[in-house]
Chains A and B, each alone.
Chain A
Amino acid sequence: MKKIEKARLPELFAALNETAALYLPADRDGVAAFTRWQEGVTLTEKLNTVRSAKDLFFPQVETLANFKTQGGTIEIEDAARQDEDFIVFGVRACDLRSFEILDRVFLAEPQDTFYKARREHAAIITLACNAPEETCFCTAFSIDAADPQGDVTAFLTDTALCLRANTEKGENLLAKLPLSDGAESEIAAWQKQARETLEKLPIQLDLSGFTGERMMELFNHPAWQPLSEACLGCGTCTFVCPTCQCYDVKDFKTKDGVQRFRCWDSCMYSDFTMMSAGQPRPTQKERFRQRFMHKLVYYPMNNEGIFSCVGCGRCLQKCPIHMNIVKVAKTLGGERDA
């Protein structure tokens, strides 16, 4: 365990940024976001960012290729992959779990080389939680918010930032920083208090009913109608979600060719997976159902029972009508009215 006084955080960030481009959660006009560090940028006081850390590996928009026409020829230019190292500081345990979930999608064959390059070039410094909010339910997915992993784990106590390397990459990184020696015991009380709070979080979910065997029963559940009734189909829940992974590929006509890009898509949208035969999910009920069935049933069926929700609570905070995965899970699980 290494440490640095809290007052010297700017120095630490500068030193980290010396080794590779540093991103950290900072306030931008009152909204916390992963931000490229520069002199003067400080760590947010907020528990988590509005957009998740997923953005750094799977950005909302990215160019895949450029096609240039000249006379009768077309020149195809592949877009560059990430080729420089970068550091992400301040990833919460929930967002860290989201990387594992995304990895199973993007790193399965055929691998997504854009995503892969970013994953390989990143060093991740997680930040343990000791002041969760009422919307947090990471505990439902056996995530230990008081001791997340990553290349390095950081613990911010009242006086110091304690850092523990978990990987070789993390060891090498810490060796380059102006740190003094610390001991596990320094965070023991802090961690104990964090765990006590985590234990009494108000959202307790029983997800045992969400199994592959019950897929059709859940799919045909009458509660989808009332649950989705007020949904605006806006897609906010999918865009702030750290595990939502759907994208669309589009062409943008430029002066002398075509720019092919991908952008996040949302199952909540009317043109999602639109085919020449039409829209397979004709009303908001089916679109809404897709999002939750994917998180709670389809993804786990394909991935050894791992749910693709991490309990970060972003959809609880940001849905304009306050409909969310907790209400859905409790309703389908029989704990509350639709």
Chain B
Amino acid sequence: MSKRIDVSDLDVYYGDFLAVEGVTMTIEARSITALIGPSGCGKSTFLRTLNRMHEVIPGARVEGKAVMDGVDLYGKHVDPVEVRRQIGMVFQRPNPFPTMSIADNVLAGVKLNNRRLPRSEQEEIVERALTGANLWNEVKDRLNRPGSSLSGGQQQRLCIARAIAVRPQVLLMDEPCSALDPISTLAIEDLMNELKDDYTIVIVTHNMQQAARVSDRTGFFNIAGTGKPGRLIEIDDTSVMFSSPSQKATEDYISGRFG
């Protein structure tokens, strides 16, 4: 249940503004790819192009290729809705649906799509997804309470459960821990380690230790100056990136000399 994505020559625009330029990289299956880089260099923008969430912003568009399973996600006749069902996403700020209970939040992918499932199957999905997100033990007695009654860290794990409940091939995470305390962060990092057996994971993070701890490969984005497009400087195995990167800029960034 996981796929690799081959991105080649991807340019990402907001209207006329070129935000990210010429990204070529391979996102390996069953592994965690971390994207690091200074603020505003286009990590979030690039991540959102992978499941075609970028184009929901008015005027936003993408040029280039992102091939998964031999199909170009940006090819003709590819339905973005279909892409998003295969490539799930977890956002920076936890965003459970406020009108839904914990269980309904997990089932949101099913219920919002008007799919009907027998009760037993629904319960099974809820338990599987919540267990997968390391949340089951904490909420199993209050599945009918509103999702917003949970703590921030629990809400974020609820959002992860919601994303994996629809069994995507790939999971994108945009700074999933930046609003969380260290303990919740640890819980989510453990979770990612378990999830990578089944999913391809791409995570954007500002936290260098986190990238070093959890990821198998690390990509470094940088920007030449404000108004200039962001670029992928290099991508390699995490151990290589953190010990002997081939680019000077990467070394400076990782050792904390700028950014």
A is bound by B: no
